[in-house]
């Protein structure tokens, strides 16, 4: 049973490393030809809650020497709560929540990553695919930075 950050990150490592991701700090990333895909998991300073953002950068519009492990202002992003707005995602990533038994939390985290995060990365692993996904996903469109929208030539507000 996961009870601390080290155990949580080790569990996520096992999932993400199988899919070619690397980890630096609280960020798992994978470089595609045009996109850097990122999963960031960070702990709240006040609670046992871990945030979970996934998205990435368009390489050609990144700042020189931009550190993807430290930049929370990704060009585009989603959260697991965008896919599952129930409190279940938050409860799963709240290690202070002791309502889980055995490996139930681990299985839920694995399910969330494999059902939502990894397929999302496959759908956005090129500039063209990213543009199509933004046009099809109003939440992603709302959470895409203006710099990326302009580069992708996606009209704002449509």
Q: Does residue 125 lie within any of the structural domains?
A: yes
**Is residue 155 helix, strand or coil?**
coil
Q: Does residue 60 lie within any of the structural domains?
A: yes
CB 128 within 8 A of CB 56: no
pLDDT of residue 158: 60
Rounded to two decimals, what is the model's pTM?
Answer: 0.92
Domain total for the chain? 1
Tokens, residue 147: 């710099």
Q: Does residue 59 lie within any of the structural domains?
A: yes
Domain of residue 38 covers: 5-152
Q: Does residue 99 lie within any of the structural domains?
A: yes
Listing from the earlier edge strand, what are the strands of the sheet with 22-24?
Answer: 22-24, 27-31, 35-43, 50-58, 76-79
Q: Does residue 158 lie within any of the structural domains?
A: no
Q: Does residue 44 lie within any of the structural domains?
A: yes
Would you give per-residue pLDDT tens digits along the chain (158 residues)? 888 999 999 999 999 999 999 999 999 999 999 999 999 998 877 777 888 899 999 999 998 888 887 776 689 999 998 988 788 998 999 998 889 999 999 999 999 999 999 999 999 999 999 999 999 999 999 999 999 999 999 998 76
């Amino acid at each position: 049973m996961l009870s601390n950050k080290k155990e949580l990150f080790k569990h996520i490592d096992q999932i993400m490393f199988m899919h070619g991701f690397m980890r630096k700090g609280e960020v798992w990333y994978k470089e595609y030809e045009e996109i850097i895909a990122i999963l960031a998991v960070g702990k709240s300073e006040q609670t046992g809650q871990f945030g979970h953002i996934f998205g990435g950068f368009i390489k050609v519009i990144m700042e020189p020497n931009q550190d993807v492990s430290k930049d929370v202002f990704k060009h585009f992003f989603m959260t697991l709560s965008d896919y599952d707005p129930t409190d279940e995602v938050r409860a799963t990533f709240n290690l202070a929540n002791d309502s889980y038994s055995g490996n139930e939390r681990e299985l839920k985290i694995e399910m969330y990553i494999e059902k939502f995060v990894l397929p999302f990365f496959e759908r956005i692993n090129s500039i063209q695919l990213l543009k199509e996904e933004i046009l099809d996903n109003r939440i992603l469109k709302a959470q895409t930075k203006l710099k990326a929208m302009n580069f992708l030539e996606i009209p704002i507000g449509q």
